[in-house]
């Protein structure tokens, strides 16, 4: 067995032990843990000891093991992420009802954007994204928002991934991205998808870091320039309100960009 395989096996054993702790069984003995995992007693003791040393578990005076501070911290991250999505959804639905178009919440994943929540237009002809699916950052209103907060190295990786037609427009596209950061919102019209227009705004945490992007999109015959301009103050207002009311929680969300990417 090579080192990579051995390391993966050890990680899986640690995760299997952590998975034994539930609301029904928040504290377990060595033998109970061994029984649940199917590991030998020596293996179970070794894994429990490592998890205690690393702060994921702790052993009480009664020799029972229970989750410790690092496990609690991970739980808090999940709670914050879930809470902020619940807070954002009503705002997205208000924007959808006010504009009639689809409102999407995007996070950055590497050099792509991923739709993590959506309030879909009630029109029969509408634009929608596929939640969890990665989209490129070389075109679109949301892309301009993310690009304006990314490092030069990341921006170059996005450029290299872009098709030739978009690379030919790259300098002007970056200028639009920087202008979007200055004014706080961006526009696009048929940049990535023919006939689709969008407006987007950054969602910032309490420290002014980019946490996500919120966008409104629809067919450009309906979501025309006048409609997009009318949507801007509504979108900006909702994003600012979310930052004011939930900025601290946004700081703990899984999709907050690392500090190194905020320059």
pLDDT band at 259 (very low <50, low <70, confident <90, very high): very low
Q: Is the pLDDT of residue 262 over 60?
A: no
Of all residues in the chain, the percent with pLDDT exceeding 90 is: 69
Q: What is the reported pLDDT for 129?
A: 77
Report, as an integer, the average pLDDT of 206-220: 93
Report, as an integer, the average pLDDT of 5-22: 87
DSSP state of 24: S
| Sign (positive or negative) of CA dihedral 170, 111, 155, 184 | positive
For the record, the structure tokens of 3 come out as 């080192």
Q: Is the pLDDT of residue 1 over 60?
A: no
Give residue-wise pLDDT tens across range 221-258: 999 999 999 999 999 999 999 999 888 777 766 454 44
The continuous run of DSSP H or E covering 203 comes out as: strand 196-204
Q: Is the pLDDT of residue 35 over 60?
A: yes
Cα distances from 242 to residues 15, 185, 245, 260, in angstroms, run 35, 15, 5, 24
**How far is the C-alpha of 153 from the C-alpha of 242, rounded, in Å?**
30
Give residue-wise pLDDT tens across range 81-126: 666 677 899 999 999 999 999 999 998 888 999 888 899 998 988 8
Give residue-wise pLDDT tens across range 156-178: 999 999 999 999 999 999 999 99
**How far is the C-alpha of 254 from the C-alpha of 78, rounded, in Å?**
8
Q: What is the reported pLDDT for 146?
A: 96
Residues in contact with 30: Cβ distance below 8 Å, sequence separation at least 6, in sequence order:
41, 44, 45, 48, 63, 65
In this prediction the pTM is 0.69
Domains detected in the chain: 3-67 (1.10.10.10), 76-261 (3.30.450.40)
Report, as an integer, the average pLDDT of 198-210: 92
Q: Is the pLDDT of residue 5 over 90?
A: no
Q: What is the reported pLDDT for 121?
A: 94
**How far is the C-alpha of 22 from the C-alpha of 204, rounded, in Å?**
34
pLDDT band at 71 (very low <50, low <70, confident <90, very high): confident
């Amino acid at each position: 067995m090579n080192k990579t395989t051995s390391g993966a096996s050890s990680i899986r054993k640690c995760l299997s032990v952590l998975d034994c702790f539930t609301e029904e069984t928040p504290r377990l003995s060595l033998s109970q843990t061994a029984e649940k995992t199917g590991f030998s007693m020596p293996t179970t003791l070794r894994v429990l000891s490592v998890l205690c040393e690393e702060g994921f578990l702790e052993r009480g005076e009664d020799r029972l093991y229970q989750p410790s501070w690092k496990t609690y911290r991970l739980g808090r991250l999940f709670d914050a992420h879930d809470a902020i999505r619940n807070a954002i959804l009503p705002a997205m639905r208000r924007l959808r009802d006010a504009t009639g178009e689809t409102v999407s919440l995007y996070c950055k994943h590497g050099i792509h954007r991923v739709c993590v929540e959506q309030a879909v237009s009630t029109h029969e002809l509408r634009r929608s994204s596929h939640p969890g699916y990665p989209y490129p950052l070389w075109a679109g209103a949301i892309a301009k928002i993310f690009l304006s907060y990314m490092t030069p190295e990341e921006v170059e990786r996005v450029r290299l991934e872009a098709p030739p037609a978009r690379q030919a427009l790259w300098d002007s596209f970056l200028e639009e991205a920087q202008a979007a950061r200055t004014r706080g919102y961006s526009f696009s019209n048929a940049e990535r998808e023919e006939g689709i227009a969008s407006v987007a705004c950054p969602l910032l945490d309490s420290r002014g870091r980019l946490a996500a992007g919120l966008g409104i999109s629809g067919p450009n015959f309906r979501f025309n320039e006048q409609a997009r301009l009318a949507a801007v103050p509504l979108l900006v207002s909702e994003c600012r309100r979310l930052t004011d009311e939930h900025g601290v929680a946004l700081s703990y969300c899984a999709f907050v960009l690392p500090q190194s990417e905020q320059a």
